[in-house]
Amino acid sequence: MQSQLSRSTNRSKMVPEFTGNWHQHREKPRILVKCGGFSSQLARNVNEKVDGDPLWGSRFDATQPDAVIKTHLDFLRKGADIILTNTYQSSVEGFMKHLGKTREESIALIAKSVELARQARTLYLTEVAENNGDIAPDMPLILASIGPYGAHLHDGSEYTGSYANLVNFSQLQKWHKPRIDTCLAAGIDGLAVETLPCQLEALAVTDLILTRYATPRFWVSFQCKDSSSLAHGESFAEAALAVWNMVVKYRAKSRLIGIGVNCVNPNHVSPLLKSLLAKLLDGDTVPLVVYSNRGEIYDSDRGEWTGTGLNVASFVPEWLRLGVRIIGGCCRVYPDDIQEIRQTIEDIAQQPNSPIQTSLVI
């Protein structure tokens, strides 16, 4: 597959605010490609270990910002429509503890992460224009990565949700609010609330977004331990449905980009989504988002990934049949994998009577 840079049309160097439908363009649903595992690729662009760091990739917004920009560009040049800010493990507490920052400096560093993503997008669009490239006028998009409370604890609890027994609804909202406030003020296209291991946190953050902020669009993505359960043990279908019902209650369907799963074994994705679809009422259509890992397992004690990786692109046709509209990758999914995912989607979109189209169709 060729890079998006090789496609032919003229394109403005500035991206307008995205106000259209994320999933529908003309008569066919539009499939968007998310970037892959940011910190996995970042590790290839820095001379320090990333996995196992208490700040994970977030440290490098402060120490190696050029590498952060390059990592965003690596995914954009391979066909990503959506990049996430490097804020998954960013927190005021974490930056104060591990970087010696003040509260104000910590907030500024979160804002800097958004700015680095915006710089990468500007550089990419300049390349596109110089090469007469062709991408849709509202692409690429920048979403703020809103990782779980457990990520800042640096104890692996983002993959167990054990902290759900130690914090309550309002405490989780209070903890998430500074990062969300900062990212929105810095200028992003939406919020990627991701890798949530427990229902409590999903509902707390969804309620926070819907009640405290008037317009931001968002997705909610869960971390699951098997083909039916969240990492903390709740039913994925029940948790996802609870988020959907909250969105419906607040009459905010237009603000929901999607509900789905990330950093899960790709073999678990289809059963998880089918369990949700089976619970929906007739007429309900929940937008779905998926960005799995490669099926490997992270050993927090050893600080490394174990197991044999799977080809994520091979799962894409099945996910599309289930109605997934945003597909990408998480840990250990690299730019070449994103290119293969995009090529798979484009090949399907180009088939006669294809029910989908990609972001490149204008």
CA gap 150, 13 in Å, rounded: 38
Distant-in-sequence, close-in-space partners of 131: CB < 8 Å, separation ≥ 6:
5, 6
The response to whether 224 counts as a known ligand-binding position is no
The Cα 143–Cα 187 span in angstroms is 9
E-only strand ranges, the chain:
24-25, 28-33, 82-84, 141-146, 190-196, 218-222, 256-262, 288-292, 297-299, 304-306, 324-329, 357-358
Question: How many distinct helices (H) and strands (E) make up the chain?
Answer: 12, 12
For 174, the 3-state DSSP assignment is: helix
Q: Which two tokens stand for residue 362?
A: 């204008």
Q: Radius of gyration over alpha carbons of the chain, in Å?
A: 19
**With contact defined as beta carbons under 8 Å apart, do 194 and 180 qualify?**
no
Q: Nearest to residue 219, comparing CAs of 209, 234, 204?
A: 209
In 10 A of CB 271, how many CB atoms?
Answer: 13
Q: How many CB atoms lie within 10 A of CB 108?
A: 15
Task: Say if residues 276 and 228 touch (Cβ distance below 8 Å).
Answer: no
Does residue 219 sit in helix, strand or coil?
Answer: strand
Check whether the bond before 140 is cis (ω within 30° of 0): yes
The rounded distance, in Å, linking the Cα atoms of 264 and 274 is 15
SS3 label, residue 320: helix
Reduced to 3 states, what is the DSSP secondary structure of residue 230? strand
Instruction: Indicate the annotated binding residues for Zn(2+).
Output: 263, 330-331
Instruction: Indicate the annotated binding residues.
Output: 263, 330-331
